[in-house]
Chains A and B, each alone.
Chain A
Amino acid sequence: GQQLNQSPQSMFIQEGEDVSMNCTSSSIFNTWLWYKQDPGEGPVLLIALYKAGELTSNGRLTAQFGITRKDSFLNISASIPSDVGIYFCAGQNYGGSQGNLIFGKGTKLSVKP
């Protein structure tokens, strides 16, 4: 089945640094989403992207829907300790059912104060 390659798998950064992570696929998606999961909780939606080339921000977070429709990027500026967690990308195809949502394996972010 379809798979998303999410990188890096993990990151250890200093508070205040910027963070970049990305997701690539061999297939086209018409929707890209980014979720964050804190320990002991379910994932929470951060940003949803619906148009190729779209750049969307949510506070210190910025995500982009790649022009080829096969990739997406998430950037976090000026990281803080509460940014710690696992970040998942997800791609969705036409059909509009949740069953078409494919998740990456996640990027585990650790922030040193």
Chain B
Amino acid sequence: KAGVTQTPRYLIKTRGQQVTLSCSPISGHRSVSWYQQTPGQGLQFLFEYFSETQRNKGNFPGRFSGRQFSNSRSEMNVSTLELGDSALYLCASSSGTSGGARTGELFFGEGSRLTVL
């Protein structure tokens, strides 16, 4: 079974630009979530999508947005990049449904490392 695939793996942007990251979940997984990982803050939850609907959102500004397509693939977008947005962005999928006990069992991709100059 293919794992979670994230593209691109690495990218460099400048302040003010915008970026789109892509995630393909494990086949059959309908829940996709995004996390930002930095040395100082650790793993911070961005948002979760289930069946094309945003089910949950973390405490990030509106510059961070996402969407999910009918095939469960997901994208996240960051507009007006700031230096502090430099991080590893991780996508995770799970087979758990809302209210189910196994929704915390996440399968992570390798991440997209974003550097903002």
Contact A96 B99 (CB under 8 A): yes
Q: What range describes how many residues of A lie at the interface?
A: 20 to 34
Provide the bound-state CA to CA distance between A101 and B31, in Å: 14
Provide the bound-state CA to CA distance between A90 and B90, in Å: 15
Contact B101 A96 (CB under 8 A): yes
The answer to whether A97 and B42 touch (CB under 8 A), given A31-B104, A41-B110, A48-B105, is no
| Chain B nearest CB, measured from A21 CB (Å) | 15
Contact A42 B98 (CB under 8 A): no
Contact A33 B105 (CB under 8 A): yes
Q: B107 in the interface, Cβ–Cβ < 8 Å?
A: yes
Instruction: Report B-chain residues with C-beta under 8 Å of the C-beta of A96.
Output: 96-101, 103
Interface size on B, residues (CB 8 A): 32
| Chain A nearest CB, measured from B83 CB (Å) | 22
Q: What 0/1 readout, one digit per residue, does chain A (12-32) give for beta carbons within 8 Å of chain B?
A: 000000000000000000010
The answer to whether A42 and B109 touch (CB under 8 A), given A98-B45, A106-B42, is yes
Instruction: Report A-chain residues with C-beta under 8 Å of the C-beta of B59.
Output: 1
Provide the bound-state CA to CA distance between A45 and B92, in Å: 11
Stretch at the interface among B14-22, B50-58, B66-74: B50-58
| Chain B nearest CB, measured from A68 CB (Å) | 19
Q: A59 in the interface, Cβ–Cβ < 8 Å?
A: no
Contacting A at CB under 8 A, from B34-71, are 42-43, 45, 47-48, 55-59
Contact B103 A92 (CB under 8 A): yes
Instruction: Report B-chain residues with C-beta under 8 Å of the C-beta of A33.
Output: 104-105
Provide the bound-state CA to CA distance between A20 and B92, in Å: 27
Tell me the nearest residue of chain A to B47, going by C-beta.
A99
Chain B residues close to A by CB (< 8 Å)? 4, 31, 33, 42-43, 45, 47-48, 55-59, 90, 92, 94, 96-111
Given A43-B106, A97-B56, 14 more contacts at CB 8 Å? A31-B101, A33-B104, A42-B109, A42-B110, A43-B43, A45-B105, A48-B102, A48-B104, A96-B99, A97-B55, A98-B92, A98-B94, A98-B106, A99-B55
